[in-house]
Amino acid sequence: MKELMAIIRQSKQKETLAALVDIGVVSVTVHSVNGRGRQGGNIMESIDPDMPGNIESVSKIYKYPTPSSMAGDSTLTKPVFWVPKNLLTIVVSEVPVEKVIETITKVNRTGKPGDGKIFVLPIADALRIRTGETGDAAIL
Amino acid sequence: MKMIRAIVRPEKEDDVVLALEGAGFPAMTKAHVFGRGKQKGLQVGPVHYDLLSKVMLLLVVNDEDAPKVMSIITDNSKTGFIGDGKIFVSDVESAYTVRTGEGL
């Protein structure tokens, strides 16, 4: 049993879930989270590369700038933001992990920063509350 | 790789995030969560607060960086009172970047 945690764009959620159903993964937990990656949440750079690190002008566009964009001692040179993302948690036993990864990657790949990450974690055990089944039977 | 799930006070979130950023860990995910601990919430006079607001930070780092990240989070979120939060560390077998499809 493996747990997959996939952080994806919110706009791709419907498409991803539909693609997962096609390969037989129907049980998914979705969290709405905020995140940032190696670019430090610097989404402005892709919109306007010439934009200076003018915090005030950015604050007008975005209602909630992050602490980093307001902080003087930040190590990042440009304003950064928390980017809204969806976190999908999937526990698989029968469907191969590689197939799920491939499906998520295929649907979500745009080639631009912000496509997301997939983490694979081991799961010790699972239990279905309704029946008390444990192990693989609980997630099939 | 290790996945670090830190549950911290919402008012300490800024401090922790800035410190992690300064130490070279800008990539993370946060979620606003509600939880309670050993004390089963908070009793203030006749009012009982069952679930308290917290921020969960989720980072995946290399094995050797995990102790460093944990000490940064602890140093910056500690107040010494109950409700400071917890840090959970779990193993990550593999990680993939969706944009390139490569493993990290």
pLDDT of residue A45: 52
Q: How confident is the model at residue B103 (pLDDT cuts 50, 70, 90)?
A: confident
Domains, in order of start, for chain A? 2-39+82-139 (3.30.70.120)
Find how far residue B81's CA is from the centre of its chain. Answer: 17
In this prediction, residue B89 has a pLDDT band, given cuts at 50, 70 and 90, of: very high
**CB-based contact A115:A46 (threshold 8 Å):** no
Instruction: Kindly report the average pLDDT of chain A as a whole number.
Output: 77
The domains of chain B, with CATH numbers, are 2-36+51-91 (3.30.70.120)
CA distance B89 to A28: 23
Nearest to A121 among B13, B24, B92 (CB): B92
What is the maximum span of chain A, computed from C-alpha positions, in angstroms? 59
ipTM, 2 dp:
0.70
Interface of B with A (CB under 8 A): 3, 13-14, 17-18, 21-22, 24, 26-31, 58, 60, 90-99, 101, 104
pLDDT at A61 over 90: no
* The pLDDT of residue A113: 76
> Given the structure tokens 């050993």, which residue do they identify?
B38
pLDDT category at A67 given cuts 50, 70, 90 is very low
Q: pTM here?
A: 0.74
* SS3 (DSSP) at B65: helix
